[in-house]
């Protein structure tokens, strides 16, 4: 019966020791506030930096991905450089690729960047002006808010008409763009439609756009069309669609250096991988502060062991074992590091939100980043607190009692 009862009693004593060690750790931190803050400074800076960098990079990644995703992940953009008049493809040739593969393609539209100053009244402004076909809206999941989109007749008859995004409508025309005009390179285009908001109606977003018939744009620029946008039924068909386009272009060009095909889904994967690598590098650099903070904790704990040598001797003479002494100092180091981690997390959340507002991205720390940062701060406390704790546990009680 004695053996059976001693086990729970021993567990109670261990729990009391842990609780007591935690209280002693807090008391020690509060007694020497300045020294504790200086000890935690490396951890605070390290954890705060990690939170800020992860939040900003995640916000930037999401911003970039949302831009690409607004263009569609089932989109292939084809640029044809040509190889002289004998080895060139026409708009009809590019449409034929779609006609021959309607089981995988939703459609195709020529695309041409419109050069020339954009002007309304006497004021110049910037926007993303594109010459496109009448089906461009459907291929890119745009919706009309007012008026209409370009028609086949607009494209066929070279009409000087334009459709504008919500940002242009709101900020250039005060919400009343329909029926007004925009000058592009000195040519006046009548605005016949306004698109629904697709991004966030900010400058340089997808909503900062103007669409005109590609035939009109080509005629005004005296240049041929060399960019096409294909949309597949879903991303599963992207590889097959890309192969179909490549086969046609290669057979005409007799070389793969005269055209380029960009798969948006592949581009998104590359961007995600690139920003992930950048995040890891930046976090690694910020992690140096955590290493410095850990060394600071170890140094202060070594000093603490020297200062409390007599206290350790008294505890050992009263029956405290090595693991009790070691546990006390490890818990104290972990507590110091954990408090620094909590302060660093709070600072990181506040600063990342502030910086996110400045550069206009959503930089909210994820729960995962917060938990990882806190766990690392505690781990560093335990890791760098082990050496001082081990030194304290090995002190001879008689020598420790003689220490002044």
Decide: 83 and 90 in contact? Cβ < 8 Å: no
Domain boundaries along the sequence of the chain: 19-67+271-402, 82-257
Instruction: Give the pLDDT mean for 113-123.
Output: 85
pLDDT in the model for residue 6: 44
Count of Cβ atoms closer than 10 Å to residue 19 Cβ: 11
Q: What is the pLDDT of residues 142-171, one digit of tens each?
A: 889 999 999 999 999 999 999 999 999 999
**Number of neighbouring beta carbons within 10 Å of residue 371:** 11
Q: How far apart are CA 297 and CA 42, in angstroms?
A: 9
With a CB cutoff of 8 Å and minimum separation 6, the contacts of 176 are 169
| Mean pLDDT along residues 198-221 | 85
- pLDDT by residue (tens digit) across 348-396? 889 888 888 887 778 888 888 788 888 888 888 888 777 777 777 676 6
Would you say the pTM of this structure is higher than 0.85? no
Beta-carbon count within 10 A of 179 CB: 10
CB 132 within 8 A of CB 225: no
Distance CA 173, CA 180 (A): 8
CA angle centred on 187, ends 229 and 153, rounded to 5°: 50
**Which residue has 């059976």 as its token pair?**
4
Query: How does residue 402 score in pLDDT terms, banded at 50, 70 and 90?
Result: low
- Residue 281: the pLDDT is 82
Confidence of residue 323 (pLDDT cuts 50, 70, 90): confident
Percent of the chain with pLDDT over 70: 85
């Amino acid at each position: 019966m004695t053996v059976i009862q001693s086990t729970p009693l021993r567990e109670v004593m261990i729990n009391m020791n842990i609780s007591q060690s935690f209280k002693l750790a807090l008391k020690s931190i509060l007694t020497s506030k300045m020294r504790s803050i200086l000890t935690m400074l490396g951890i605070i800076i390290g954890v705060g930096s990690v939170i800020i960098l992860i939040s900003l990079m995640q916000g930037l990644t999401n911003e970039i991905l949302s831009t690409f995703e607004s263009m569609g992940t089932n989109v292939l953009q084809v640029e044809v450089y040509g190889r002289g008049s004998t080895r060139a493809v026409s708009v009809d040739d590019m449409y034929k690729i779609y006609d021959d593969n309607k089981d995988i393609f939703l459609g195709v539209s020529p695309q041409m960047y419109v050069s020339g100053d954009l002007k309304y009244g006497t004021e110049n402004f910037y926007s993303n002006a594109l010459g496109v076909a009448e089906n461009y809206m459907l291929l890119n999941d745009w919706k009309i808010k007012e008026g209409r989109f370009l028609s086949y007749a607009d494209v066929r008859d070279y009409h000087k008409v334009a459709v504008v995004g919500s940002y242009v409508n709101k900020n250039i025309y005060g919400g009343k763009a329909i029926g007004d005009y925009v000058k592009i390179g000195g040519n006046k285009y009548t605005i016949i439609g306004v698109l629904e908001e697709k991004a966030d109606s900010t400058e340089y977003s997808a909503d900062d756009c103007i669409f005109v018939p590609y035939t009109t744009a080509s005629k005004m620029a005296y240049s041929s069309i060399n960019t096409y946008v294909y949309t597949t039924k879903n991303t599963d068909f992207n590889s097959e669609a890309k192969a179909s386009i490549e086969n046609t272009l290669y057979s005409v060009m007799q070389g793969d250096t005269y055209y380029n095909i960009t798969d948006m889904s592949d581009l998104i994967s590359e961007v995600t991988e690139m920003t992930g690598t950048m995040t890891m590098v930046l976090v690694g650099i910020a992690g140096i502060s955590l290493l410095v903070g850990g060394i600071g904790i170890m140094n202060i704990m070594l000093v603490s062991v020297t200062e409390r040598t007599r206290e350790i001797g008294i505890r050992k003479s009263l029956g405290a074992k090595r693991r009790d002494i070691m546990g006390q100092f490890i818990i104290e180091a972990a507590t110091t590091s954990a408090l620094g981690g909590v302060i660093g997390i709070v600072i990181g959340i506040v600063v990342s939100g502030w910086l996110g507002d400045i550069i206009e991205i959503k930089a909210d720390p994820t729960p995962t980043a917060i938990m990882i940062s806190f766990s690392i701060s505690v781990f560093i406390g335990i890791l760098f607190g082990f050496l001082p704790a081990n030194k304290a546990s090995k002190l001879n009680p008689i020598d420790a009692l003689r220490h002044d």
